[in-house]
Amino acid sequence: MEHKIKIYIYPYPLTKDDRLCDGPVSVGERCFALDNATMLIWVDLMPEARFAHPTAYVLISGRNTRVERGNWWPMLNGKRILLGEQNSICVPSPFDLAVAMPELSKVLGEKGAEQMAYTLAEKCRHVYTVDFVDIAIIKTNPPQLLINAVGAARTSGWLNPVLSPRIYVQPPLDGIWEFDFLADPPAGVALEVITPINASYMVDGGFQSWKGVRVVAETNAKEKLLGKPRKADEAGHFVIEGAKV
């Protein structure tokens, strides 16, 4: 019996401090060593079958790619991720999926790898503009930085907007950390009208040395300096032009 595969890409980079394991603790932990700035692609090779069944973990770090075989869904820091989610298969910038194609071909076959590359090309594009960027510090331990961006898409029907952090081997020289403002373009007919869109991103500590953030859209970019970011309320909300986001 043939099964169509399903491909999931975790939208945020992993670090060496993250704990990525195949399946829950109850089936015996099998965890993978990670480098900083690692992109995770998880492939469900038999999505119509019950677990346990063959899966694959494609881990991309810099110019290096490795494939780990699995039998379960991914667990990240003790929480199940990706399985059953309608997540956008967005490649965090500046990862180049071409680096991983030889290894992906081993897992997916040449046609499968080509299909994946085609699918990615049709998804997760920059939105048209970014009009407003705001930041807020949330009092947690460690403190968190909440980034929100408001912009516009070229048409109606854009889905799954995200702020995708760019990956740095070394901190940016100007101290401004960049995020790509991305979303999935409409799959069918869309109205030719500029449409508002917004996305948020939470930074879990480690931002105290940052000078600011820059959000990049298709036609422009906006910066927000961290000089005196204002505090969020207890729910993590902050006001943008009179509306809570």
- At 135-151, the pLDDT tens digits run 998 888 888 899 999 99
The DSSP bridge partners found for residue 137 are 145, 231
Which two structure tokens, joined as six digits, stand for 1?
């019996």
pLDDT tens by residue, 109-129: 766 666 666 555 556 788 999
Of residues 78, 83, 91, the one with CA closest to residue 43 = 83
Q: Quote the CA–CA distance of 194 and 149 in Å, as a whole number.
A: 16
What integer pLDDT is reported at residue 116 of this predicted model? 64
What integer pLDDT is reported at residue 241 of this predicted model? 35
The DSSP bridge partners found for residue 67 are 58
**pLDDT averaged over consecutive 10-residue blocks of the chain (245 residues)?**
66 86 85 88 84 89 84 91 57 56 71 63 80 92 91 93 77 89 87 95 86 94 79 46 34
Q: Confirm if 159 and 196 have CB atoms less than 8 A apart.
A: no
What integer pLDDT is reported at residue 118 of this predicted model? 58
Of residues 212, 209, 164, the one with CA closest to residue 184 = 164
Domain boundaries, the chain: 6-121, 125-244
